[in-house]
Chains A and B, each alone.
Chain A
């Protein structure tokens, strides 16, 4: 079930939340667990046991590590087994066909591919679960004895299928004891509506332009239309992803949880380094904490630190999809971040305008690598962008999408926040009509939706 659907908004949401609020406090987690399992099974009932087994193995690993705390070697084995088990499923479902593809390609074999679909949200929940077992092993957090609390942490429906990636330590206290105030619920609703609007009114409305450019075929579009298309994708992926996160954070808040922020206006950054501190913050945070630091981070010899950086960005790329273009996309950021570290950063800091232009150009080029999985087509598209092909096809699309593109650009900057800070009185009066309008329009666009994709099936 996706959040942006009539079924979720007018069936699941009222039923789940009412049941949750009416349940006595000590049973609230059980209610959440059941609701979340229904939510997950609705989309993919067959892979339900996989998630269950991963939960069970990591739960037992936590108990085992606590029980044998003194026996270092045994503890380490328990950790390794649980990690192999969790990552094993992820690797099997996500990367088997990719591996076979490469083997077939390199050795001229014809091993048949497996007819697998990726279990919903596996990349997200695997990473979340790992934070628990690793942190327990290093003694950063206590073992969770209550399997309902632990299960709730993993399958909590707001963040289950598209993040943010919540670490166990982020919400372990709230899992045990949390207060829910009407103020929190109201704030949560506001965030949820803003997220829904981002996804339905902006991402979907803008994204169809990129889809149209793709359907036309890259050989058939003019250079201006190619640029319009990739700018549309740039805005779509931001509003889609951040909208999803915002909906999750809002629902979390209404349930009494404080989920970490996931997007912080990434397109206003002035360097790629800064961009990745503002884009999918929980993912970059995860890689920093659970891969980069364990490798030694930057407190090692320079050469080794760049190697560490390389590994992290290779993995980040691969996490986004089992295809070479995603690896390329990750390594592209490795190169840019390395350059910024070596000498570019001070220059960017001194030149405001240049740094914005540089960042936007670099990010848009990144999305070119990200959006086109086929290397041949990628080459054609880059050719379209940079060797001028005239044409008048863009006039129609510009006319059709101009207003929504401008809205997208405006809302990708912290405009609403500025208004709120500058004129708090007006905001108070306009907030409710504005949110009501956004919600009603979102509903209307969902009822008559011709284009409502779920972009994270690859993640």
Chain B
């Protein structure tokens, strides 16, 4: 006790350092961080070759960092401190009004956008004669909810870039401009629910995630169907099928880990269907219901990003006796909550994610015929995805 009084800092510091270090060595290692929604670094295997190339030690440092005792608690402590310092950005995520999070997105990959537009044009050149092809780039949340953004943050003007992409497309392509659609959807949602917070059901984009909500996807669906001169299902007809999954902390949260984040609610419609086949395997539900209980809830929609998904149903409001109408949706993860709505306008809904398509696109296009093709990507993914090229294989 005497020594503690005389050298308090020395004793406290040494004790803290030693106890924490020893405890840290015995704490069990985690594979996956729910909070950050990512796999954590595991102890690297030692080899002299790796050490020599300076590859071992950085991995080991990352491992110690990722597995440090009380990691989630430390992350929260940092978040509290950052808030106290008035910071409105962490790890590329900015905090807007009404608890909305947005991406810090000041630069974009113009070359990648040009390449991807080129791939789409090649695709249209191959199949555009016999099949109507619609191209639609979804603006991300900050572009539409600009009034909720922090003042002075000048992100990329997505609408300008999207308009340029549309102007560079093969003239046979139809384009579906979603910007006015999404703006109208936001305005309508606000009107129906003037106290927009905390009424999550009326969100068009999630607060803590980069995706659009099911409602946002519905509005895009209706706009697409109307542009094709078909009949779309009314929201009122879907409402009895709705259920809600609470406590959704999305990808924005996983990046910034803001301690005061307000979770989202996911709306799901229990849409009837005859069969759903994912990469040849038949499933009994439209969505992976087990995901509603874990952190990465959005991955439940349509069982995540799979190569080829085929949904058959008797929902089609445009059904013609003796005919089977077919739509092909080429999409990223924004298409997962979107695709089920299409069952109300086509007999068969074929969904492709080029990031995990097991077969060649050309084979698929030759073996099947489609009444409509919709290429649907969100802007940020369109500006970064390297798999769009598979469209031309």
Q: Which residues of A contact B (CB under 8 A)?
A: 1, 5-7, 9-11, 13-14, 18, 42-46, 182-183, 185-186, 189-190, 193, 205, 215-217, 220, 391-404, 407, 431-432, 435-436, 439-441, 443-450
Q: What is the minimal beta-carbon distance from B157 to any residue of chain A, in angstroms?
A: 13
Known: A401-B87, A448-B74. 14 other contacts (CB 8 A): A14-B17, A14-B18, A43-B54, A185-B7, A186-B10, A216-B107, A392-B151, A395-B152, A396-B153, A399-B150, A403-B85, A403-B87, A444-B78, A449-B65
The one of A396, A443, A449 in contact with B151, judged by C-beta atoms closer than 8 angstroms, is A396
**A190 and B12 alpha carbons, distance in the complex (Å):** 12
Contact A447-B68, Cβ < 8 Å, known A393-B154, A395-B152, A441-B77 = yes
Task: Establish whether residues B81 and A444, one from each chain, have CB atoms under 8 Å apart when the complex forms.
Answer: yes
Chain A to chain B contacts (Cβ below 8 Å), 21 pairs: A1-B57, A6-B64, A7-B65, A10-B64, A45-B54, A46-B54, A182-B7, A189-B13, A393-B153, A396-B153, A396-B154, A399-B151, A399-B152, A400-B87, A402-B86, A436-B12, A444-B74, A444-B75, A445-B78, A448-B74, A448-B257
How far is B90's CA from A296's CA once the two chains are assembled, in angstroms?
A: 54
CB distance from B87 to the nearest CB of A (A): 6
Within 8 A of A (CB), among B71-117: 71, 74-75, 77-79, 81, 85-91, 94, 106-107
- Contact A44-B74, Cβ < 8 Å, known A400-B88, A447-B68: no
Tell me, yes or no, whether B289 is within 8 Å of chain A by CB: no
Residues of B within 8 A of A401 (CB): 87
Q: Which residue of B lies closest to A205 (CB)?
A: B85
Is A10 a contact of B57 with CB atoms below 8 Å? no
Inside 8 A of A399's CB, which chain B residues have their CB?
A: 86, 88, 150-152
Interface membership of B61, Cβ < 8 A:
yes
The reply on B21 being an interface residue by CB < 8 A is: yes
> Which positions 293-345 of chain B face chain A at CB distance < 8 Å?
none
Bound CA span A44–B60, Å: 14
Q: For the complex of A and B, list the 6 residue pairs with the smallest distance between their C-beta atoms, beginning with the closest.
A: A395-B152, A396-B152, A447-B74, A186-B10, A444-B77, A396-B153
B94 CB to nearest A CB, Å: 8
Task: Choose one: B57, B71, B88, B150; the contact of A447 (CB below 8 Å).
Answer: B71
B75:A448 contact, CB within 8 angstroms:
yes
Nearest-neighbour CB distance to chain A for B387, whole angstroms, equals 26
Nearest A residue (CB) for B79: A448
Within 8 A of A (CB), among B181-206: none
Contact with A along B118-154 (1 / 0, CB 8 A): 0000000000000000000000000000000011111
Main secondary structure of the interface of A (DSSP, over half): helix
Contact in complex: A432, B75 (CB < 8 Å): no
Whether A185 contacts B10 in the complex (CB less than 8 A), given A10-B68, A441-B81, A447-B74, comes out as: yes
Shortest Cβ gap from B366 to chain A (Å): 45
Q: Is there a chain A Cβ closer than 8 Å to B52's Cβ?
A: yes
Nearest Cβ on chain A to B12's Cβ, whole angstroms: 7
**A6 with B65: CB separation less than 8 A:** yes
- Docked complex Cα distance between A49 and B45 (Å): 25
Is there an interface contact between B54 and A11, defined as CB atoms closer than 8 Å?
A: no
A13 to B57, CA, bound (A): 17
B7 and A439 within 8 A (CB): no
**A444 to B150 alpha-carbon distance, docked (Å):** 26
Across the interface, which residues of B come within 8 angstroms of A444, CB to CB?
74-75, 77-78, 81
Is residue B24 within 8 Å, beta carbon to beta carbon, of the partner chain? yes
Q: In B18-35, which residues have CB < 8 Å from any A CB? A: 18, 20-21, 24
Could you tell me the distance between the alpha carbons of A1 and B86 in the complex, rounded to whole angstroms?
Answer: 32
Closest to A185 in B: B10
The interface residues of chain B lying within 8 Å CB-to-CB of A10 are 17, 20-21, 24, 64, 68
CA distance A78 to B197 in the complex (A): 79
Q: Which residue of B lies closest to A397 (CB)?
A: B152
| Complex CA distance for A286 and B61, rounded to whole angstroms | 34
Do B13 and A439 touch (CB < 8 A)?
A: yes
Which of B16, B17, B86 is the one whose CB lies under 8 Å from A403? B86
Residues of A within 8 A of B10 (CB): 182, 185-186, 189
Set of chain A residues within 8 Å of B24, measured between Cβ atoms: 10
Closest A residue to B13 by CB, please name it: A189
Give the CA-CA distance A249 to B339 in the complex, in Å. 63
User: How far, in angstroms, from A444 to B68 measured CA to CA in the complex?
Assistant: 10
Closest to A8 in B: B61
Contacts of B57 in A (CB 8 A): 1, 42-43
Q: How far is the CB of A254 from chain B (nearest CB, A)?
A: 9
Tell me whether A45 and B52 are in contact in the complex, defined as CB-CB below 8 angstroms, given that A6-B65, A186-B7 are known contacts. yes
Q: How far is the CB of A186 from chain B (nearest CB, A)?
A: 4
Say whether B64 contacts A46, CB under 8 Å.
Answer: no
Contacts of B364 in A (CB 8 A): none
Contact A447 B65 (CB under 8 A): yes
Among the interface residues A42, A44, A186, which one has the most CB atoms of the partner chain B within 10 A? A186
What 1/0 mask marks residues of chain B from 152 to 184 whose CB sits below 8 Å from any chain A CB? 111000000000000000000000000000000
Instruction: Pick from A11, A44, A183, A400: contact of B89, CB below 8 A.
Output: A400
B152: A residues at CB distance < 8 A: 392-399
- A77 to chain B minimum Cβ distance, whole angstroms, is 37
Question: Which of chain A's residues have a CB closer than 8 A to the CB of B78?
Answer: 441, 444-445, 447-448
B21 → A minimal CB distance (Å): 5
User: A219 CB to closest chain B CB, in angstroms?
Assistant: 12
Shortest distance between the CB of B142 and any CB in chain A (Å): 12
Cβ-neighbour of A11 out of B9, B64, B86 (below 8 A): B64
Asked whether A13 lies within 8 Å of B17 as measured between CB atoms, the reply is yes
**Interchain nearest-CB distance for B66 vs A (Å):** 9
A444 to B65 CA separation, bound complex (whole angstroms) = 11
Judge whether B358 is part of the interface by a CB distance below 8 angstroms. Answer: no
Contact status B9-A190, CB under 8 Å: yes
In angstroms, Cα B13 to Cα A13, docked, is: 12
**Contacts of B9 on A, CB cut-off 8 Å?**
186, 189-190, 431-432, 435
Complex CA–CA separation, A404 to B10 (angstroms): 29
Which chain B residues border A407 with CB–CB below 8 Å?
85
Bound Cα distance from A376 to B278, whole angstroms: 54
Residues in A with CB closer than 8 Å to B85 are 205, 403-404, 407
B51 at the interface (CB under 8 A from A): yes
Q: What residue in chain B is nearest A193 (Cβ atoms)?
A: B13
Q: Residues of A contacting B153 with CB < 8 Å?
A: 393, 396
Which partner residue on chain A sits nearest B76 by CB separation?
A444
In the complex, which residues of chain B have a beta carbon less than 8 angstroms from the beta carbon of A448? 74-75, 78-79, 257
CA distance A13 to B16 in the complex (A): 12
Which chain B residues lie closer than 8 Å to A440 at the CB level?
A: 77
Centre residue among B7, B10, B16, B151 by max chain A CB count within 10 A: B10
Considering the complex, give the chain B residue whose CB is closest to the CB of A447: B74
Q: How many angstroms between the C-alpha atoms of A356 and B42 in the bound complex?
A: 52
- Of A5, A215, A392, A393, the residue contacting B107 (CB under 8 A) is A215
- Asked if residues B65 and A5 are in contact (CB atoms below 8 Å), the reply is yes
CA distance A287 to B351 in the complex (A): 70
B151 close to A432 (CB less than 8 A): no
Rounded to whole Å, the gap between the CB of B44 and the closest CB of chain A is: 13
Partner of B61, one of A7, A393, A443: A7
With A395-B151, A396-B151, A448-B74 as given contacts, are A44 and B13 in contact (CB-CB < 8 Å)? Answer: no
A399 to B94, CA, bound (A): 12
| A227 to B60 Cα, complex, angstroms | 39
